[in-house]
């Protein structure tokens, strides 16, 4: 028995029963088909775990459409097969080699707390994130090179620019995975970088030809 585990809060139980009595009952055949035939998502979405980023709502997606991986600041680390624990790398590997997704979308967002933590750490304002014991700090080390690219901008422009650097850093790191690079070069996989303004409902896409993010 695992100690200290409690029953589900009542409000979540109520929401579940409400969902099962309405959405599930109205689409029961579809859910059973998904369960029996397996998942065949067309795209993997790597997004921040921020509760304000609702991936399926942004794109009007149903169950079975997206293979979604969420972490702090939507980061992908460089390829590093060292035998350690690598949740994000494992998700990418499964999406590409197991599910055969056609697209990987990296979705950044405005007012990202993880990106702000990286900014504060790189400016020397977050000593707790510098500690070796900080999981967040060591994870945000992935974005340190991105901070160097935007650190000379005016102060009010740094955070939005760093949020977009988190997307670009992840796209660059994705191409260090041999199976990702091979799939891209064989035209079996495309990579996409997006940034959403959670307050205004805006969405920008990275255009390599213009080297910037522009409204879709």
- Average pLDDT score over the chain: 97
Asked if residue 162 lies in contact with residue 143, where contact means CB atoms within 8 angstroms, the answer is yes
Pick one of 3.90.1200.10, 1.10.3720.10, 3.40.1050.10, 3.40.50.150 as the CATH number of 39-215. Answer: 3.40.1050.10
Residue 12 makes CB contacts below 8 A (sequence gap 6+) with none
For the chain, the domains span: 1-37, 39-215
What pLDDT score was predicted for residue 105?
98
Q: Residue 17 burial by CB count (10 A; 0-12/13-18/19+): exposed, middle or buried?
A: exposed
What pLDDT score was predicted for residue 95?
98
- State the pLDDT confidence band at 1, using cuts at 50, 70 and 90: confident
Crossing angle of helices 155-174 and 113-122, in 10° steps, is 110
pLDDT in tens, 108-166: 999 999 999 999 999 999 999 999 999 999 999 999 999 999 999 999 999 999 999 99
Asked if residue 150 lies in contact with residue 161, where contact means CB atoms within 8 angstroms, the answer is yes
pLDDT in tens, 13-30: 999 999 999 999 999 999
pTM: 0.96
pLDDT in tens, 192-201: 999 999 999 9
pLDDT in tens, 26-50: 999 999 999 999 999 999 999 999 9
Percent of the chain residues topping a pLDDT of 70: 100
What pLDDT score was predicted for residue 11?
98
Q: How far is Cα of residue 10 from the mean position of the Cα atoms in its chain?
A: 29
């Amino acid at each position: 028995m695992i100690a200290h585990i409690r029953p589900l809060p009542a409000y979540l139980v109520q929401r579940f029963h409400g969902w099962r009595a309405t959405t599930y009952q109205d689409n029961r055949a579809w859910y059973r088909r998904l369960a029996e035939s397996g998942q065949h998502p067309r795209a993997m979405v790597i997004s921040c775990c921020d509760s304000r980023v609702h991936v399926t709502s942004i794109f009007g997606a149903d169950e079975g459409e997206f293979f979604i991986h969420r972490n702090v600041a939507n980061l992908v680390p460089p390829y590093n097969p060292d035998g350690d624990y690598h949740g994000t790398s494992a998700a990418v590997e499964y999406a590409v080699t197991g599910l055969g997704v056609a697209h990987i979308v990296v979705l950044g967002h405005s007012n990202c707390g993880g990106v702000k933590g990286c900014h504060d750490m790189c400016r020397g304002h977050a000593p707790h994130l510098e500690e070796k014991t900080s999981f967040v700090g060591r994870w945000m080390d992935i974005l340190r090179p991105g901070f160097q690219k935007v650190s000379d901008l005016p102060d009010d422009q740094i955070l939005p620019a760093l949020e977009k650097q988190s997307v670009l850093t992840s796209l660059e790191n994705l191409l260090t995975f041999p199976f990702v690079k091979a799939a891209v070069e064989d035209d079996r996989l495309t990579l996409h970088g997006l940034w959403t303004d959670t307050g205004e409902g805006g969405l920008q896409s990275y255009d390599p030809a213009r080297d910037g993010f522009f409204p879709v």
